[in-house]
Structure 1
Amino acid sequence: MESMQPHPNVQAVQHALDNAGGRDGSGAASLIRILPEAVHTAAAAAAALEVEVGQIANSLIFDADGDPLLVLTSGAHRVDTGRVATELGLTALKRATPEFVREHTGQPIGGVAPLGHPKPIRTLVDAALAGYPEIWAAGGVPRAVFPTTYAELLRITAGTSAEVA
């Protein structure tokens, strides 16, 4: 992993992590790392980090009846939008457009972090992530990632544990 001039999104996410007291799997402060290349998929991120694909927390923004919904799902899963919509009492849950994602997160698809957004976003955290002692999440751009844990994801996002697959 290499260093680069911090992108404003990366700085915002690191600031949010610091303010939340974010911790990694060892209990140390969670720090964003910059990968040599962009990782736009969970498989690519897992390969770059040499971890299981299930340890990657995909940050997926959905259009939930016009409001943003962030689903942090294990890279080994696909979100069952019908199930999630029913659980939340929504009439429609659909994949958000890139413009919708950027409007609500300030971040590009492929780099959406669990935090550091302009305003809080309702968040679900895939219960399957609880099975891993360390989880990796995006840090605001497709080359940035940070280590965390399931309990920390719930805490720093004020998220709700959910079966999303």
Structure 2
Amino acid sequence: MSAHLPARSRLVHDALRDAGIPGEIVVLPDAASTAALAAEALGIEVGAIANSLIFWVDDAPLLVMTSGAHRVDTVALAERAGTGKIGRASPEQVRAATGQAIGGVAPTGHPTRLPTIVDEDLAAYPQIWAAGGTPHTVFPLTYDQLVALTGGTVLKVD
């Protein structure tokens, strides 16, 4: 199956298998580079989309997995996480940190494991969907699988 995937998605597929997560990567006919587009393509609530957002803290990347239903409050999140100021990463920083482009960043398959915060609101959904390494690919998993896969810290992010 993974042989038919884009190279970036094959890396994600392999990382999922290494983590024991069975969900298959789905290639969508149209790009789903936003949570709303992904939810529409999958026929699910936008809140069940796990957005992979890269921020920058103290000259280092921070992956925030957030529900597609809301925005990250960087000031409140920095306080809750006990970090320095959290700023949005540039497209170049996203690509350097993940090897993936904005709109297709997966929670895994990066050159190195990133410090991660997982939105506690994603726990409300029995199944969530995340980008599979490109804007055309997504995959299903559970909240517990996402936390285990990323080694993330669970926090309120909005």
Shorter-chain-normalised TM-score: which range? Answer: over 0.9
CA contact (8 A) 1:112 1:141 kept: yes
The partner residue of 2:88 within 84, 95, 99 is 95
Structure 1 stretch displaced more, 3-12 or 85-94: 3-12
Q: What 5-or-longer segments of structure 1 have no aligned partner?
A: 23-28
Task: Give the residue type in structure 2 aligned to 1:155.
Answer: A
Structure 2 residue ranges without an equivalent (≥5): none
Given candidates 97, 106, 110, the residue that maps to 2:103 is: 110
Query: Counterpart of 1:85?
Result: 78
Shift of 1:123: 0.6
Describe the shift of the 1:4–1:51 C-alpha distance in structure 2 as closer, same or farther (beyond 3 A). Answer: farther
Shift of 1:17: 0.2
Partner of 1:8: 7
Give the structure 2 partner of residue 158 of structure 1. 151
CA contact (8 A) 2:57 2:83 kept: yes
State the secondary structure of the residue aligned to 1:61: strand
1:122 is aligned to 2:121: no
- Deviation of 1:20 after TM superposition, in Å, equals 0.5
* CA deviation vs aligned residue, 1:22-50 (integer Å, no higher than 9, x gap): 1xxxxxx1110100010111000000000
> What's the TM-score, normalizing by structure 2?
0.96
User: Which residue pairs with 1:149 in the alignment?
Assistant: 142
Equivalent of residue 133 in structure 1, options 121, 126, 132: 126
Asked if 1:45 corresponds to 2:44, the answer is: no
Could you say which residue in structure 2 is the equivalent of 1:26? none
Number of aligned residue pairs: give it: 157
Counterpart of 2:88, as a letter, is: R
SS of structure 1 residue aligned to 2:96: helix
- TM-score, normalization: structure 1? 0.92
**Counterpart Cα distance in 2 of 1:88 and 1:52:** 27
Q: RMSD of the TM alignment (CA)? A: 1.3
Runs of 4+ off more than 3 Å? none
**Deviation per CA, 1:73-109, whole angstroms, max 9, x where unpaired?**
0000100000111122333211000000000100000
User: C-alpha offsets along residues 119-159 of structure 1, whole Å, 9 cap, x if unaligned?
Assistant: 01001110000000010000000000000011000011111
Query: SS of 1:153's equivalent?
Result: helix
> Does the aligned pair in 1 maintain the 2:80–2:155 contact within 8 Å?
no
In structure 2, C-alpha distance between the alignment counterparts of 1:4 and 1:155, rounded to whole Å: 26
Percent identical among aligned pairs is 54
CA contact (8 A) 2:129 2:138 kept: yes
